[in-house]
Amino acid sequence: MVRFEEISDKLQKGKAKDVALLVQQAVDEGVPAAEILEKGLLAGMDEVGRKFRDNEIFVPEVLVAARAMNKGAALLKPLLFAEGAKANGKVCIGTVKGDLHDIGKNLVKMMMEGKGLEVVDLGTDVAPDTFVQTAVEQECSVICCSALLTTTMEQMAEVVKAAEKAGIRDKVKIMVGGAPVSKEFADRIGADAYTPDAASAAEKAAEFCS
Ligand code: B1M
């Protein structure tokens, strides 16, 4: 029987192969993909975050844990795709300028694709104008911004301003998220939506595209 603590433990140690094996084992046992993600992989990343904050581990350990997280999540991707109704539409997503964190952004992307949305992934350290230009050129209905640092979340306000300046603010929805972001912050900068996690972000984007 699958033990979520074991997945979390191997992830924290950066044992990507073991994480993949355990995730596959859980899948084979019929455990829902969303549960494996939540109780195994994300629980492990939470613990990595705590240890990083408390200086128990440092950047190299966090990076190998992140690699293990991505490996496990990749296995769950087709299953998350299979769950739920499909939507139509195109969005672009990126982590804002100055910010290199992409695990949460990748999960949001994965869940959005799972909903049937076409997702243009701009990667990390994305300038406000790049979000806006992409939305125009690729006819995206939604711009999705992720930020993990309190110092970079203000870049989201710049994305809103850039959309206004380009004259597309009424044609595109702007969604924001990431650990330091809140509904109050989203309201303050004039974004259209804040969602706390990847699943609710996918729901909201699908709603905006419908
Ligand atoms: Co960084 N880091 N990091 N880090 N890192 C944090 C964010 C931090 C909280 C750690 C800590 O001190 N406890 C802290 C920020 C403090 C602050 O701003 N107040 C921090 C710091 C300080 C830094 C550096 C400055 C460290 C340094 O160099 N001294 C540096 C900055 C680099 C930069 O970006 N310029 C740095 C570097 C790194 C690594 C490169 C080592 C690595 C990133 C690897 C990678 O992403 N490829 C890393 C990591 C992994 C973390 C922690 C440990 C984990 C983040 C993560 O992936 N969580 C993190 C501590 C923590 O969060 N507990 C930390 C799992 C992920 C699934 O969650 O991204 O929140 P999250 O996504 C969630 C939701 O937020 C939401 O959905 C996701 C899943 O449901 N969501 C959205 C995300 N985007 C969304 C968008 C939406 C909607 C929902 O709509 C569009």
Block means of pLDDT (10 residues each) for the chain, 210 residues, are 91 97 96 93 94 94 94 90 73 98 93 90 98 98 98 98 98 98 98 95 94
Ligand 1 within 6 A of 140 CB? no
Q: Where are the domains of the chain?
A: 4-83, 90-209
**Using DSSP, how many helices (H) and how many strands (E) does the chain show?**
10, 5
For residue 116, the SS3 value is coil
CA of 178 to the centre of ligand 1 (A): 8
Q: What CATH number belongs to 90-209? A: 3.40.50.280
CA of 210 to the centre of ligand 1 (A): 31
Question: For ligand 1, what atom is nearest to the CA of residue 175?
Answer: 91
Nearest protein Cα to ligand 1, atom 87 = 177
Q: How many other CB atoms sit within 10 Å of the CB of residue 22?
A: 23
CA of 157 to the centre of ligand 1 (A): 19
Given strand 142-146, what is the order of strands in its sheet?
A: 118-121, 90-95, 142-146, 173-177, 193-194
4-83: which CATH topology?
1.10.1240
CB 96 within 8 A of CB 59: no
User: What per-residue confidence (pLDDT) applies to 114?
Assistant: 82
